[in-house]
Amino acid sequence: MKSLQVFVFTLILAFAASSFAAEESYQFDDPAQQALFLELTQELRCPMCQNQNIADSDAMIAHDLRRKVYELLNQGYSRSEVVEYMKTRYGDFVSYQPPVTPLTVWLWVLPVLFVLMAAFWVFIQRKKQSQEFDEEALAKAESILEKDK
């Protein structure tokens, strides 16, 4: 019984996925261009519905941007030229790939800095601990030795 339920559910899921894919399709003659189209529509962000890429979104602006990407690729635009085209109109916001600027460079620098500082701190703690431990143990050992005499 349970396995039947799982089977039916899987079937529904499979159909849902295929209907989504068939809703709107832009065909290219060149498979490399098709792949580039998919990649670009996933990297470009919908300006209206802010947390979706244009491949995902059903807003009219996303439809328009997809159509534009298709047109531009057919006109022979390269990947970076398409992204540039969108950025001159919608700003850096439109790409999920942030550019490196004095403001955004912290996105890369901060995690590395954090790891380095943490490693440094652990290193210092270890060193201190081992020193403290040594002295204490030494004192203890000596006192025991004293008693045994």
Partner 1 sequence: MKKVAVFLIPLVLFMLLAVFLFSGLFSDPRQRDSSVVGKPAPAFELPDLMQPEITYTQDIFKGEVTLLNVWGVWCVTCAVELPYLTDLSQQGVKIVGLYYDQDTDPDFGIKSIPAIQQEVVAKLSKLGNPYSFNVFDVKRDYSLDLGVTGAPETFVIDKNGVIRMHHIGDINPRVWEGKVGPLYSELIAQ
Which residues in this chain contact partner 1 in the complex, by CB under 8 A? Answer: 47-48, 50, 59-61, 63-65, 67-68, 87-91, 93
Q: How near is the Cβ of 102 to partner 1 at its closest, in Å? A: 16
Residue closer to partner 1 (CB basis): 1 or 102: 102
Residue 120, CA atoms < 13 Å, CB-side half-sphere: 6
Q: How near is the Cβ of 9 to partner 1 at its closest, in Å? A: 34
Residue closer to partner 1 (CB basis): 89 or 140: 89
- Residue with structure tokens 């919608």? 90
Q: How near is the Cβ of 89 to partner 1 at its closest, in Å? A: 5
Residue closer to partner 1 (CB basis): 34 or 49: 49
Q: Left, alpha or beta for 138 (phi > 0: left; psi -120 to 50: alpha)? A: alpha
Residue closer to partner 1 (CB basis): 64 or 132: 64
Q: How near is the Cβ of 58 to partner 1 at its closest, in Å? A: 13
What is the C-alpha to C-alpha distance for residues 149 and 145, in angstroms, rounded to an integer? 6
CA-wise closest residue to 44 among 103, 90, 113:
90
Spell out the alpha helix ranges (H) of the chain: 2-22, 31-43, 60-74, 79-90, 106-148
